[in-house]
Chains A and B, each alone.
Chain A
């Protein structure tokens, strides 16, 4: 055994494997529990006793509390855990759910060979929130090579039946583990697994050491086998999450591995055997007899004491714990020396490369050669200077829109991964998979159509809500349908119905759509026409849904979407208006036309930026008498929302004011202009409430345009423009100084605010009528006094 290598703080355990049953109903000849060096299972009780369960839960809870864990991952494992029976598994799950401290979420899984799985077990797992992973080595021939009963019978049919049950209860379906045998056809294995629609798959190298090496027909047989699958998986558009491939890509980009099979992450895993003894990772059983043993027990020892065990610490040393050959290897940050037990050789212990070293090197190199390493977005100095001054034309807005386009793709990717990762997301996965496939097809064949669809402001609003668990992921299908319509493709999808309508962002809405019990309907797009497929035969009465194309406002060659239907538009600080009547639309069109003409005539410097970036106007519910209401939402780039004001000049003001927020929000998505301020609040002359630094920055930036608006309007409408200009130039300048003195700006933020000052400073020198100046002073003082009271 190793001496404790370093006197360092312990790494808390986060993963707890409970061996709830030590025997198995299969006799797989590649199993690490029974068929390798360690034979400790022979002396263990078959089932974990209630006393041991209670002690284990208490130890986990104590550990979670001491280390303030926000999540504990517990795996019910074996042997074959289902041999413990549904009642005992229910009791264990219930004790775990009740036992963890407040604030510590429980990610509870069971991993089984599946042959005993039935609805009774699944009811227990549904009740206690347990996700089920299944072992299956591929198609029948591949699976039957090893995974047989003791009498030689195949287990394949029972396992596939079990997976069928899980496919019917997708929220419980965790995924499939496949142990590699290079004698199997990799494509047949891959196809068999994909056909079972698992949310996740992992391919495991068979357990082996330098003392007992794996069968190896060629020098890189395992890499070649996996590469065959990787290339096909890539060509298929990655129809399933593959943990090993994801981990190689993630580590290649500096991220974490998702599996102990590769990577340099510290081990945070502990095993509790049926007799209550603690073990290190149980795959160490392949190395030598008693290799995983710690000599510690739940009735005697805390998990902190186990975490200080030299064998545990040895698997937390990262690069320092590897053989010299590994440390010098160019792929070590992905490989991490491979699975710890695979390094074992009598005499040198674990200070060796993996017995799969050549395979890991070849596979990782192959994957790295085929993944894209995108560059970062950058804002040219001149563009940022223009934006900081309060302006920005097509070129500057183009930089911001580019960043938003990348964010939209990142959010979609996160949604897809989230759906694969989360139990709750599994239902969404089933809904969204055809949609995802259609989106990737459009991406490959007509990326402009997809980009234009993703650029709709409320797509991001929906995606963010979805990642927060506040919106339904099924809307991905509506997004895909909108992109298909834009791309001129025929499609058939299960789309989300909201309030009797199917909305296709940026395209229009099918109203009068009847939803099934799950809130979806079948949408068909043929020859550019969307309709609801209600299952009626041709010639029957037509469906009642009515297609309402999206409407637009236009003026002088400029056109914006009038968004009064998107179900995710209600993300502003004022309620969204319902769909406009034709009369309301006409009023908006008239007011917009006049407002745009005013902007082009009086504020021509703002027009190019608005033409490039203002894509959408969202009507808000009417404002109270005497008040104007407008808004932007941080997650809706390109949209300005407003209640229709009385006069076009006010609409022009609201547009230029709110578009400043659109610009600055996108800048802040790209750059850090300020640090965290620890909740400190600041006086903002245009608000009744104190604002955080970012709020003050947003308001000040917006008031550059507000001040400029009144500055030019003084000629056409001196009252109240002269007074408003006098007031806002002073208060904007004051706010700029508050920002500059905050001490919370980053260097780029300080530079940015200095440019804002350069815009407002000359305005302070412009002559203003004395009466207006005094009125402005009184108004500013009254606001400040009221605020301080």
Chain B
């Protein structure tokens, strides 16, 4: 059993506060944060890009 008597005065979430980020910027918010948010609600999230250096001479 995990016993915890106290927790911090504020519990921080992995969810970033995007309410005041322009939608056009959220679109490319990308990076680790958006992936983390999606994985919280979609464990099978398609955002499973491999962190490798992609060939730049094709797109």
- Which B residues are CB-close (under 8 A) to A246? 28, 30
| Interfacial residues of chain B within 2-28, with CB under 8 A of chain A in the complex | 2-28
The answer to whether B27 touches A267, judged by C-beta atoms less than 8 angstroms apart, is no
Q: How far is the CA of A638 from the CA of B6 in the complex (A)?
A: 30
CB distance from B10 to the nearest CB of A (A): 5
Given contacts A443-B22, A451-B19, contact A268 B57 (CB under 8 A): no
- Which A residues are CB-close (under 8 A) to B26? 409-410, 412-413
- Which A residues are CB-close (under 8 A) to B57? 17, 75, 77, 111, 177, 204, 282-283
The answer to whether B11 touches A177, judged by C-beta atoms less than 8 angstroms apart, is no
- Which B residues are CB-close (under 8 A) to A263? 53
The answer to whether A75 touches B55, judged by C-beta atoms less than 8 angstroms apart, is yes
Q: Which of B10, B30, B32 contacts A378 (CB 8 A)?
A: B10
- Which B residues are CB-close (under 8 A) to A635? 41
The answer to whether B15 touches A409, judged by C-beta atoms less than 8 angstroms apart, is no
The answer to whether B13 touches A464, judged by C-beta atoms less than 8 angstroms apart, is no
The answer to whether B13 touches A378, judged by C-beta atoms less than 8 angstroms apart, is yes
Given contacts A250-B30, A413-B27, contact A111 B11 (CB under 8 A): no
**Residue A103 CB within 8 A of the other chain:** no
- Which A residues are CB-close (under 8 A) to B13? 376-379, 403, 670-671
Shortest Cβ distance from B47 into A: residue: A414
**Residue A679 CB within 8 A of the other chain:** no
**Residue A608 CB within 8 A of the other chain:** no
- Which A residues are CB-close (under 8 A) to B42? 464, 467-468
The answer to whether B16 touches A238, judged by C-beta atoms less than 8 angstroms apart, is no
Q: How far is the CA of A267 from the CA of B28 in the complex (A)?
A: 23
Given contacts A177-B57, A411-B38, A669-B40, contact A406 B17 (CB under 8 A): yes
Q: How far is the CA of A375 from the CA of B10 in the complex (A)?
A: 14
CB distance from A267 to the nearest CB of B (A): 5
The answer to whether B52 touches A266, judged by C-beta atoms less than 8 angstroms apart, is yes
Contact with B along A15-44 (1 / 0, CB 8 A): 101000000000000000000000000000
The answer to whether A261 touches B56, judged by C-beta atoms less than 8 angstroms apart, is yes
Q: Which of B2, B15, B33 contacts A407 (CB 8 A)?
A: B15
CB distance from A189 to the nearest CB of B (A): 16
Q: How far is the CA of A403 from the CA of B12 in the complex (A)?
A: 11
Q: Which of A588-596, A706-714, A745-753 contacts B (4 or more CB under 8 A)?
A: A745-753
- Which B residues are CB-close (under 8 A) to A379? 10-11, 13
Contact with B along A388-413 (1 / 0, CB 8 A): 00000000000000110111011111
Given contacts A251-B31, A412-B23, contact A375 B56 (CB under 8 A): no
The answer to whether A254 touches B31, judged by C-beta atoms less than 8 angstroms apart, is yes
- Which A residues are CB-close (under 8 A) to B41? 407, 411, 464, 635, 669
- Which B residues are CB-close (under 8 A) to A468? 42, 44, 46
Given contacts A378-B13, A414-B38, contact A238 B24 (CB under 8 A): yes
Q: Which of B8, B15, B23 contacts A381 (CB 8 A)?
A: B8
Q: How far is the CA of A269 from the CA of B58 in the complex (A)?
A: 12
Q: How far is the CA of A135 from the CA of B20 in the complex (A)?
A: 37
- Which A residues are CB-close (under 8 A) to B56? 202, 204, 259-261, 283, 339
The answer to whether B31 touches A253, judged by C-beta atoms less than 8 angstroms apart, is yes
Given contacts A409-B26, A413-B34, A745-B2, contact A77 B58 (CB under 8 A): yes
- Which B residues are CB-close (under 8 A) to A257? 53-54
Contact with B along A50-91 (1 / 0, CB 8 A): 000000000000000000000101010100000000000000
Q: How far is the CA of A75 from the CA of B17 in the complex (A)?
A: 38
The answer to whether A268 touches B53, judged by C-beta atoms less than 8 angstroms apart, is yes
- Which B residues are CB-close (under 8 A) to A749? 2
The answer to whether A377 touches B30, judged by C-beta atoms less than 8 angstroms apart, is no
Q: How far is the CA of A635 from the CA of B45 in the complex (A)?
A: 14
- Which A residues are CB-close (under 8 A) to B11? 378-379, 381, 384, 671, 748
Residues of A at under 8 Å CB distance from B?
11, 14-15, 17, 71, 73, 75, 77, 109, 111, 133, 174-177, 200-202, 204, 237-238, 241, 243, 245-246, 249-261, 263, 265-269, 281-283, 315, 339, 371-372, 374-381, 384, 402-403, 405-407, 409-414, 416-418, 422, 436, 439-440, 443-444, 450-451, 464, 467-468, 635, 669-671, 740-743, 745-751, 754
| A-B CB contact pairs (8 Å), 25 listed | A11-B52, A71-B50, A202-B59, A238-B24, A253-B29, A257-B54, A268-B52, A374-B33, A376-B14, A378-B10, A380-B10, A384-B7, A403-B13, A405-B18, A407-B37, A409-B26, A410-B18, A422-B46, A467-B46, A669-B15, A670-B15, A671-B11, A747-B2, A751-B4, A751-B7
Residues of B at under 8 Å CB distance from A?
1-35, 37-38, 40-42, 44-47, 49-59
Top 5 A-B pairs, shortest CB-CB distance: A255-B31, A260-B53, A253-B31, A111-B58, A750-B2
**Given A410-B37, A742-B1, list of 8 further CB < 8 A pairs?**
A204-B56, A249-B30, A252-B31, A255-B31, A265-B52, A315-B53, A381-B7, A381-B9
